[in-house]
Amino acid sequence: MEKLIVWFRQLSIPVTFGIYMTVSLLVALLLSLLTVQGMEMVRSDITKLYVGESETFYLTTPEGKRLGEGVDVVVDVQELSASDKWKVHLIDIASSLVVPLIFAISIVLAALLFYRQKMKAPLSILNMATGHISAQQLDFKVEYPINDEFGRLVQSFEAMRASLAQNYTEMWRMIEERKQVNAAFSHDLRTPLTVLKGQLELIQQAAHDSRLSEQKLAAHLEKMSQQVQRLEHYASSMQELQRLEEIKLRPRPVSLNELAEQMKEIHPLLQAPQAVHFNSSELPEGRVMLDTDLLLRVYENLLNNALVYSERRIEVKLAYRDAQLSLVVADDGKGFSSEDLRRATEPYYRSEQSTRGSHFGLGLSICRLLCEKHGGGLQLANQRQGGAIVTASFQAVNKVEQA
């Protein structure tokens, strides 16, 4: 019985509605027949009271012999009383109205039952979800256990809610990140602006007192020129971040082993003293859809960052599993501090051990942004034996095609 109920609830809306209507019409037909038959019995009982005695008449031959069993003929019929006439009249009117009335009531009840059993719950769920979305409250989940048209509609609504929630989360993340970028940018602008202001005041004061030699003027102008260049570099870095946020993914089929060979060719070009050990033994044969330009840019940034902090050795590992390419770069330096692990991927963040002014703190931030563009991410950690380890992941567009 329980399986039958579950099966019935999983039926489509048109089929379920047709079953409800068919059953209601059959019930209405049966009730109509019983009701009309009952009314006819009541009418017959009333009219019988006014029928007098009957006599039997027979057909006879000329000789007087009876033919057949005869016919009973009422010889005394009385007129119905006024009250019984009114009752019979009401029965006749009811007989003509009861059939359509029963059918109408049955159809209405079937529709109400169909609404309560099939439509009320999903409509209530969708109404609740609409209210939450209108109020921009997306931390809920829409579920409906029945796999009918409404069930699929609820599933689509849940997919839309999840997409909206993800978009809102991404939007707020970008807003917060932009606030952090602007705050860091404003903070770092104070130093060159302060230097420029101080140099300008010295020049103005010296010029007013007629104590400014050409040599001192050239020195002041050189310092001012350096700070102007620094401001230009800051502005360029802001434009670069904006371009990276707007970059579009351009994947193309690439052999994983050929990609590994391209990455191995980068280190000799940098002419760094540290040894780089590249491990790509876990790569499968075949081709996969990746944006190689984006991936190589991430690798160059991670490698340059490792070269700054490593002492003698850098380990690089490239692996592919479950449609995801992972790039691991580990060095034998001092590793990340707790503050670095928390903030190193923020734009313009620079650790205490970095040389202030030598870079803008954009390397890991750019890598994180590019990895996320490719459906992956960037993770920072420290090795047990010391040194930093950075893992960049990239989601492939399709699975590996066997060669």
Give the pLDDT confidence score for residue 352 in this predicted structure: 60
Whole-number pLDDT of residue 359? 47
Q: Tens digits of per-residue pLDDT, 217-276?
A: 777 777 778 777 767 766 666 666 666 666 778 899 999 999 999 898 888 877 788 889
Query: Are 159 and 170 in contact, with CB atoms under 8 Å apart?
Result: no
Task: Supply the pLDDT for residue 248.
Answer: 77
The predicted structure's pLDDT at residue 216: 72
- Paired tokens of 222: 């050189």
Q: What is the pLDDT of residue 207?
A: 66
Whether the CB-CB separation of 301 and 366 falls below 8 Å is answered with yes
Q: Check if the beta carbon of residue 274 is closer than 8 Å to that of residue 312.
A: yes
For 316-348, how does the pLDDT look when each residue is reduced to its tens digit (9 = 90+)?
999 999 889 999 999 998 888 888 888 888 776
Both tokens assigned to 224: 């001012």
Predicted pLDDT at 356: 40
CATH architecture, range 141-246: Orthogonal Bundle (1.10)
CB 387, CB 330: distance < 8 Å: yes
- The pLDDT tens digits for 4-52 are 666 777 778 888 889 989 999 999 999 999 998 988 888 888 877 776 5
* Domain coordinates in residue numbering, the chain: 2-134, 141-246, 252-395
pLDDT, greater one: 169 or 111: 111
| Residue 390 contacts residue 379 (beta carbons within 8 Å) | yes
Among 3.40.50.720, 3.30.565.10, 3.40.50.620, 3.40.50.300, name the CATH number for the domain at 252-395.
3.30.565.10
With a CB cutoff of 8 Å and minimum separation 6, the contacts of 306 are 274, 314, 329, 330, 331, 333, 388, 390
- Per-chain mean pLDDT for the chain: 80
93-125 tens-digit pLDDT: 888 888 899 999 999 999 999 888 888 888 888
Q: Which of 148-157, 198-207, 227-236 has the lowest mean pLDDT?
A: 227-236
Global model pTM greater than 0.85:
no
> Residue 298 is encoded by which pair of tokens?
């991430």
Token pair 């007013």: residue: 208
What letters, b where the CB count within 10 A reaches 16 and e where it falls short, cover 330-361? Answer: bbbbbbbeeebeebbbbbbbbeeeeeeeebbb
pLDDT > 70 in the chain, percent? 78
| pLDDT in the model for residue 209 | 63
CB atoms within 10 A of CB 376: 22
* Res 23: pLDDT: 92
